Amino acid sequence: MRTNTALLGRTLRLAPLVAAAVLTLPACGATSGDGTPDPSAAPAPSSSGGAGAATADQRGSGADAEATSAEGPLAGTTVVIDPGHNGGNADAAGKISELVDAGHGHKACDTVGAESADGYTEHAFNWDVSERLRDSLEDEGAEVVLTREDDKGVGPCITERAEIGNEARADAAISIHADGGPSSGRGFHVIRPGELDGYTDDIAEPSHRLALDVRAEFEEGTGQQRADYIAEEGLDERTDLGGLNLSDVPKVFLEAGNMSNRADAADLADPEWRETAAESVAAGISRFLQRGQKD
């Protein structure tokens, strides 16, 4: 297990910003070196500088932010939400293509993300659901940290996305995505870290429990089917994603649907469906956290 960096100061609620619609190329449908679809949105470079580096202030900490609730079933817990990709990535190819250490080798700092046939971008979906998810979790008393402050920036790199969760000593972390798979494929899946010595050996098991809870609540709440083109029974185990490999806290990726599939894309573009999706993810995280509090 790697040593955690110093605990970040408590981050307050980020002000909602309008998601930017930018034409992008699919990234969650991109393949890794072994031909496996790669949904990872690269975390930002570390605080030493580099593409997409973000400070605590840039992530929304400020005097005018609303304080999170001190009451509720999740009071005393911290959740990090990582909205995959970013709205400015498409215009910053040089920056996001810089290689970073992903724990199993090197990968691009970040990627652009997928896009539906109607032009709805994954980064906009990720940001919208993450804001809604933040609100749901804060209503239950959790302290919530987002890895980016809006949908207009670049990155951060996969390394910094993981580092933010580690510095916050999050009780749970989740990266929100939508896939860019084959157009014939439908459904959602949850990605958990496989066991990687020196990296995820200490979080693999709790991350598995988090994945099961998120899968159960998301499936029940949204009615979305488990993916029929990837993963098994809506669960996938990966050791090639830097956002998971570099995490020292329980963490999963949610691929909420396939943007290349018209039926899935119609759901993803529906604000009411996104609200239900966010509430369902919140229920899964809450289930995981409250079980941990009883143990």
Residue 60's alpha-carbon distances to 82, 112, 148, in angstroms, are 14, 22, 8
Q: What residues are annotated to the active site?
A: 255
The ranges assigned to domains in the chain are 75-294
pLDDT of residue 294: 63
Asked if 97 and 109 count as a contact pair (C-beta separation under 8 A), the reply is yes
pLDDT of residue 104: 82
Characterise 155 by phi-psi region: left (phi > 0), alpha (psi -120 to 50), beta (else). left
Between residues 48 and 200, the one the model is more confident about: 200
Q: Look up tokens 């290349």; give the residue.
A: 260
Question: Does residue 96 carry a pLDDT above 60?
Answer: yes
Question: Stretch 138-144: mean pLDDT, rounded?
Answer: 98
Question: Does residue 164 carry a pLDDT above 90?
Answer: yes
Between residues 58 and 179, the one the model is more confident about: 179
Question: Does residue 156 carry a pLDDT above 60?
Answer: yes
pLDDT of residue 70: 62
pLDDT of residue 292: 76
pLDDT-based confidence at residue 44 (cuts at 50, 70, 90): very low
pLDDT of residue 295: 56
Distance CA 252, CA 89 (A): 23
Which of 19-23, 39-43, 157-161, 170-174 shows the lowest mean pLDDT across its residues?
19-23
Tokens of 17: 């910003």
Question: Does residue 130 carry a pLDDT above 90?
Answer: yes
Instruction: Please provide the average confidence, as pLDDT, over all residues in the chain.
Output: 83
- Tens digits of per-residue pLDDT, 195-205? 999 999 999 99
Residue 132's alpha-carbon distances to 17, 126, 139, 142, 154, in angstroms, are 12, 10, 11, 14, 21
pLDDT of residue 202: 96
List residues bridging with 107 in a β-sheet. Answer: 100
Between residues 34 and 269, the one the model is more confident about: 269
pLDDT of residue 11: 37
List residues bridging with 173 in a β-sheet. Answer: 80, 251
pLDDT-based confidence at residue 293 (cuts at 50, 70, 90): low
Asked if 53 and 96 count as a contact pair (C-beta separation under 8 A), the reply is no
Residue 150's alpha-carbon distances to 22, 32, 156, 204, in angstroms, are 14, 27, 11, 30
pLDDT-based confidence at residue 13 (cuts at 50, 70, 90): very low
DSSP conformation letters of 168-197 = TT-SEEEEEEEE---TT---BEEEEEPP-T
pLDDT of residue 71: 87
pLDDT of residue 83: 98
pLDDT of residue 291: 87
Asked if 16 and 134 count as a contact pair (C-beta separation under 8 A), the reply is no
Type of residue at 58: Q
Question: Stretch 59-66: mean pLDDT, rounded?
Answer: 38
Type of residue at 280: S
Distance CA 157, CA 137 (A): 25
Fold adopted by 75-294 = Aminopeptidase (3.40.630)
Select from 60, 259, 240, 42 the least CA-distant residue to 156.
42
- Tens digits of per-residue pLDDT, 99-128? 999 998 999 999 999 999 999 999 999 999
Distance CA 186, CA 110 (A): 25
Cα 132 → chain centroid: 13
Between residues 20 and 163, the one the model is more confident about: 163
Type of residue at 208: H
Question: The pTM is what?
Answer: 0.79
Question: Does residue 264 carry a pLDDT above 50?
Answer: yes
